[in-house]
Copies of this chain bind each other. A is one copy, B any other.
Amino acid sequence: MTRPAVAIEVEARAGEARAGVLSTPHGRVETPTFMPVGTKGTVKGLTPGDLRSAGVGVVLGNTYHLYLRPGAEVVRQAGGLHGFTGWKGPMLTDSGGYQVFSLAHRRKISERGVEFVSIYDGSSHFFTPELTTRVQEDLGPDIAMVLDECPPANASRKYHTDSLRRTARWAERCKEAHSREDQALFGIVQGGLYPDLRKESLERTVELDFPGYAVGGLSVGESREEMLGMLALVAPELPADKPRYFMGIGDPVGILQVVALGVDMFDCVLPTRLARHGAALTNDGRINLKNASHRRDLGPLDPGCSCEACSTGYSRAYLSHLVRENELLAPRLVTLHNVHFIGELCREARAAIKEGRYEAWMGDWISRYAGPRSEISLDAAP
């Protein structure tokens, strides 16, 4: 048996929380790790050098968008996403399934795959498990994902049952179609908010023996509590020697909560999207740089942060001015900060796990973050 392209070595546990090292063809990454989203082959506003300086491990790319623009063939000829974007570290692409189901106005699902209409030009496309696997082989990330359906939480039990079984059959076809030995293909557990369906999806997916597993289908209409409940059910049952990826969480509190349940990797557009709206994550909570209180504040964005935006003399007053004036430098600096901040949070979580005091540390951290100086309440998170 060949050594898998991607594997995890779990170094320490604290409760269900895990600290480990993910090994990939493009390098090793300490876990837990937040993966910033480079939807169209760029984490908005940042260079690969910025991402390195922010301590990023894995960068995400989006199959749906890259397949449509600039096309997998252009990326393949450039040497895959690594060559095309200049990011030489580990990468992961989703299968595009989530976008097909969340973005497309019109789609038609069948056993064979899913027909959808491009958000760019209205052209028709058909994603099959075989096609999304081949496209991801062209894109060339270290980790590819199976094509899955991600139904809304409020879909019927019957719909969720049919869907998870189809997703499992698609997963098998993806595995069959996958041939790159320098790329790992991860399975995805679905099943909505039905505990027994989650269990069924888990069993059907694990049975296929993937080198890593994602838990998906959340953040689509369900509450944070419901989401965590499902994850608490599924995560401990996932193979302990394989990486665990929770899809779509990026607020600090949520990250700490899923880490507590044994997740190693997670992604979300939130930290980067917030930044483009002038919202910064700080050790005193989330702040909105448009608020009048920052207009004359000559202090740094976050005195506890060592990112370029915080450590090279930019004041909140200056950043607030840039945000108000829609200056290009604003999203660049605040995105860099938010990505660095989440990276640092993961490094702190990792240290706390290794010291066996994750739960206590997490409680302290959350009460500080959501404390009186925060501009959002915890209830309003993310």
Contact = CB atoms under 8 A, between A and B. Distances in A.
Interface of A: 40-42, 44-49, 69-70, 74, 77-78, 83-86, 295-296, 298, 308, 312-315, 317-318, 320-322, 324-325, 327-329, 331-333
B328 A328 contact: yes
Contacts of A308: 47
B325 A328 contact: no
Contact of A78 (B42, B83, B84, B317): B317
Contact of A74 (B40, B295, B327): B295
Given A84-B317, A86-B312, A329 B45 contact: yes
Given A40-B321, A77-B298, 15 more contacts: A41-B321, A44-B327, A47-B308, A47-B312, A69-B321, A69-B324, A70-B295, A70-B321, A70-B324, A74-B296, A74-B317, A74-B321, A78-B298, A78-B317, A328-B332
10 cross-chain pairs, A with B, having the tightest CB-CB distances, nearest first: A45-B328, A70-B321, A42-B329, A86-B313, A44-B328, A42-B327, A40-B325, A84-B318, A328-B331, A78-B298
B329 A44 contact: yes
Contacts of A69: 321, 324-325
One complex includes copies of this chain to the number of 2
29 contacts: A40-B321, A40-B327, A41-B321, A42-B327, A44-B327, A44-B329, A45-B332, A46-B329, A47-B308, A48-B312, A49-B312, A69-B321, A69-B324, A69-B325, A70-B295, A70-B317, A70-B320, A74-B295, A74-B296, A74-B317, A74-B321, A77-B296, A78-B318, A83-B313, A84-B317, A84-B321, A86-B312, A328-B332, A332-B332
A38 to B, nearest CB: 10
Nearest to A88: B313
Contact of A318 (B41, B46, B315, B333): B41
A51 to B, nearest CB: 11
A41 B49 CA distance: 24
A45 B318 CA distance: 14
A78 B322 CA distance: 14
A308 B48 CA distance: 11
Given A70-B295, A74-B296, A295-B70, A42 B322 contact: yes
Contacts of A317: 70, 74, 78, 84
A300 to B, nearest CB: 11
Contacts of A74: 295-296, 317, 321
Nearest to A41: B321
B315 A78 contact: yes
